[in-house]
């Protein structure tokens, strides 16, 4: 069974809107990375920045949410172009999205709490 | 001038390239070469052409791996080493030699609701469309399509998703979406939406790169994507 | 019949390839990244020991490539958003000139980010 057209359009839109959010997140992330590696990475420095910091926590949570939406839609397109379409792959993509989100939120919790 | 070494596809889906030697002439087009082969060397060669001047859109083939209109493609432009490989257009069933079955290509224009639907009668006044209006300019940029199938043949997404409507049909739909006289907009947007419609486009831009008429179907497809997303978010779809 | 690389050999297709391959690579890397950060759940020392493991030259090279891929996917993605959401200029020639400008910009940003990372690493 295939998804209805409206849902297909909404998926396309969700990938673009999450992309816009991700573009901002990735710029912030890249600047942070380059700043953070200057004197080598250390756990103390990373956690010093993130622990108890609500702003960083919120930022990373948003980042994870956006990527958990963005990536599975892209993988779904790739599957379709290799001839794998339908309900099965759609369910698998939901699982991929939820897994990424759960793993991601766990990571955020790990560095913020 | 040296002779051209020409390989032409013979057969249907299954077949092979056959080699011919064709005299190299000044200002020679690829269509001239194919015509020479058919008239002088091998009358069993099947190919299509009509106008020879870039109007009818019937002579498109794959030339050295790239989809082109052959009547206005000069040999000097595509075969600096005097070697030509001429094959049928891609993504279409081959009937014989370099002749493809274009039914599906044109059926998709119909599927994309590529026909005008008006509401006026002959008793009404002419519609006024300002030449400088945004819609009219969008139509101008896309309307000169001759239906040659080059973009459809060049498009990778058509290869990957055979039900994808393709650049030409979507470009046609875009000209009608911008036609202020048309009254079937809702149905048209619905017809070109989603995974087999404009949203399958990856902006590879092969159509824009290869269109012999200098049209950018990519631009129109992007316009459709936006129009449909906004209609969907407004709950109109 | 299908196209081969002769038909695909144009800038926007190369941009697509980079976008797709980097997208897949980043998706595969993400669970690893999340797992690594998750080490902090077991205390600072656990994360520190992972980070010391990651000091190996090979891992540093892999990180540089990942940073480059992330930058390329982001910059290439912004290019795509510009092409899809900003009304494009009329004919194929103008659209192509515009997309190549965007492509050059995206490539430039990616290289600069990759180099900055590499320079800060050393």
- Domains, chain B, ranges and CATH? 3-100 (3.10.20.30), 103-233 (1.10.1060.10)
Q: Could you tell me if B153 and B147 are in contact, meaning their C-beta atoms sit under 8 angstroms apart?
A: no
Query: Does residue C54 register a pLDDT over 60?
Result: yes
> Domain containing A25: what range?
5-112
The chain B residues in contact with chain A (CB within 8 A) are 157, 160-161, 190, 193-195, 197, 199, 202, 225, 228-229, 232-233, 237
Query: How far is it, in rounded angstroms, from Cα B169 to Cα C118?
Result: 47
Q: Return the residue matching tokens 């959010």.
A: A21
What's the pLDDT score for residue B237? 82
Of the candidates B189, B172, A31, the residue with the CA atom closest to the CA atom of residue C117:
A31
Chain A hits for B229, CB-CB cut-off 8 Å, are: 9, 12-13, 16
A76, B132, B196, B204, C83 from B174: Cα distances, Å? 27, 18, 16, 18, 16
CA distance linking residue A78 with residue A72, whole number of Å: 10
Rounded to the nearest 10°, the torsion over CA C96, C101, C102, C104 is: 120
Q: Do C27 and A37 touch (CB under 8 A)?
A: no
Q: How many separate domains does chain C show?
A: 1
Q: Judge contact between C86 and C78, C-beta under 8 A.
A: no
Which CATH number does the domain housing residue A81 bear?
1.20.1300.10
Separation between Cα atoms, residue C98 and residue C75, nearest integer Å: 15
For residue range C8-31, list pLDDT tens digits in order.
999 999 999 999 999 999 999 999
Chains that touch A (3 or more CB pairs under 8 A): B, C
Nearest to B203 among C10, C12, C87 (CB): C12
Yes or no, beta carbons of A40 and C55 under 8 Å apart? yes
Q: What is the mean pLDDT for each group of 10 consecutive residues in chain B (237 residues)?
A: 94 97 97 98 98 97 98 97 98 98 98 96 94 95 98 98 97 98 97 97 98 98 98 92
What separation in angstroms does the CA of B44 have from each of A100, B10, B101, B104, C115?
A: 60, 10, 18, 26, 60
Q: How confident is the model at residue A1 (pLDDT cuts 50, 70, 90)?
A: low
CB contact under 8 A, C34 and A107: yes
Q: What is the distance in angstroms between the Cα of B147 and the nearest Cα belonging to chain C?
A: 16
Q: What is the CATH number of the domain that holds C68?
A: 1.20.1300.10
Give the contacts of B212 (CB within 8 A, at least 6 positions apart): B54, B60, B68, B69, B72, B146, B148, B150
In sequence order, the β-bridge partners of residue B69 are B60
CA–CA dist A108, C34 (Å, integer): 8
DSSP 8-state assignment for residue A26: H
In chain B, which residues have their Cβ closer than 8 Å to the Cβ of A8?
A: 193-195, 199
Tell me how far apart the alpha carbons of residues A102 and A68 are, in angstroms, rounded to a whole number: 9
pLDDT band at residue C80 under the 50/70/90 scheme: very high
**For tokens 């941009």, what's the residue?**
C15
Compute the nearest-CA separation of A8 from chain B (Å): 5
Q: Find the residue in C nearest to A77 (Cα).
A: C20
Number of independent structural domains in chain A: 1
Determine the Cα–Cα distance for residues B103 and B107; give it in Å rounded to an integer: 6
Number of Cβ atoms within 10 Å of the Cβ of A21: 17
C:99-118 residues touching chain B, CB 8 A cutoff: 99
| Residue from B165, B162, B215 nearest B193 by CA | B165
Q: Give the domain extent around C40.
A: 5-121
Please give the structure tokens belonging to residue A9. 């359009």
What's the pLDDT score for residue B1? 74
Q: C50 has which bridge partners? A: none
A16, A37, A43 member nearest C120 (Cβ): A37
CB B94 within 8 A of CB C1: yes
Distance CA B29, CA B146 (A): 19
pLDDT at B230: 97
Nearest to B112 by CA among B189, B57, B211: B189
3-class SS of residue A110 = helix
List pLDDT tens digits, range A16-59: 999 999 999 999 999 999 999 988 899 999 999 999 999 999 99
Place of tokens 């459809």: B152
Q: pTM of the entire structure?
A: 0.95
Q: Hunting for tokens 């290439």 — which residue is that?
A: C76
Sign of CA dihedral B79, B204, B13, B192: negative
Q: Do A47 and C47 touch (CB under 8 A)?
A: yes
Alpha carbons B146 and B128: distance in angstroms, whole number: 26
Q: Identify whether the C-beta of residue B6 lies closer than 8 Å to the C-beta of residue B64.
A: no
Q: Are C24 and C72 in contact (CB under 8 A)?
A: no
**Whether C34 and A19 lie within 8 Å, measured CB to CB:** no
Q: What is the ipTM of this complex?
A: 0.94
Q: Is C86 on the interface with A (CB under 8 A)?
A: no
Distance from CA of A15 to the nearest CA of C (A): 11
A55-106: pLDDT as tens digits: 999 999 999 999 999 999 999 999 999 999 999 999 999 999 999 999 999 9
**B137 to chain C: which residues are within 8 Å by CB?**
90
Closest to B169 (Cα-Cα) out of B161, B158, B181, B185: B158
What the block records as the tokens of A79 is 């599957």
Nearest CA in chain C to B12: C1
């Amino acid at each position: 069974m295939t998804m209805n057209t409206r849902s297909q359009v909404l998926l396309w839109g969700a990938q673009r809107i999450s992309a816009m959010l991700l573009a901002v997140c990735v710029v912030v992330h890249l600047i942070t990375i380059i700043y953070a590696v200057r004197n080598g990475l250390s756990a103390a420095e990373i956690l010093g920045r993130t622990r108890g910091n609500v702003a960083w926590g919120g930022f990373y949570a948003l980042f994870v949410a956006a990527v958990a939406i963005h990536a599975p839609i892209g993988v779904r397109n790739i599957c379709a172009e290799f001839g794998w379409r339908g309900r099965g792959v759609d369910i698998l993509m939901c699982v991929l999205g939820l897994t990424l989100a759960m793993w991601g939120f766990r990571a955020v919790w790990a560095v913020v709490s | 001038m040296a002779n051209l070494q020409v390989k032409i596809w013979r057969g249907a889906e299954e077949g092979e390239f056959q080699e011919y030697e064709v005299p190299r002439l000044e200002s020679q087009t690829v269509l001239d070469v194919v015509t020479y082969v058919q008239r002088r060397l091998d009358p069993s060669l099947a190919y299509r052409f009509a106008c020879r001047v870039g109007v009818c859109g019937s002579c498109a083939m794959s030339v050295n791996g790239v989809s082109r209109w052959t009547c206005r493609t000069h040999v000097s432009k595509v075969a600096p080493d005097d070697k030509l490989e001429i094959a049928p257009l891609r993504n279409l069933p081959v009937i014989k030699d370099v002749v493809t079955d274009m039914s599906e290509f044109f059926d998709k224009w119909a599927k994309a609701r590529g026909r005008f639907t008006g509401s006026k009668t002959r008793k009404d006044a002419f519609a006024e469309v300002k030449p400088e209006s945004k819609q009219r300019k969008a139509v101008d940029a896309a309307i000169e399509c001759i239906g040659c199938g080059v973009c459809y043949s060049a498009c990778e997404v058509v290869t990957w998703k055979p039900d994808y409507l393709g650049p030409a049909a979507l470009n046609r739909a875009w000209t009608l979406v911008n036609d202020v006289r048309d009254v079937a907009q809702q149905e048209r947007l619905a017809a070109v939406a989603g995974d087999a419609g404009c949203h399958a486009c990856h902006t590879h831009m092969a159509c824009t790169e290869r269109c012999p008429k200098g049209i950018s179907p990519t631009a129109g497809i992007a316009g459709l994507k936006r129009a449909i997303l906004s209609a969907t978010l407004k709950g109109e779809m | 019949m299908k196209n081969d690389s002769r038909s695909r050999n144009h800038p926007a297709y190369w941009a697509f390839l980079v976008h797709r391959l980097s997208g897949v690579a980043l998706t595969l890397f993400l669970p690893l990244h999340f797992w690594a950060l998750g080490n902090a759940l077991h205390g600072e020392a656990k994360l520190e020991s992972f980070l010391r493991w990651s000091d190996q030259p090979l891992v540093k090279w892999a990180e540089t490539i990942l940073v480059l891929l992330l930058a390329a996917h982001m910059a290439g993605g912004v290019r795509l958003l510009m092409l899809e959401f900003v009304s494009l200029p009329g004919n194929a020639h103008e659209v192509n000139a515009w997309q190549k400008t965007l492509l050059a910009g995206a490539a430039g940003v990616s290289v600069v980010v990759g180099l900055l990372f590499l320079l800060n690493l050393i």
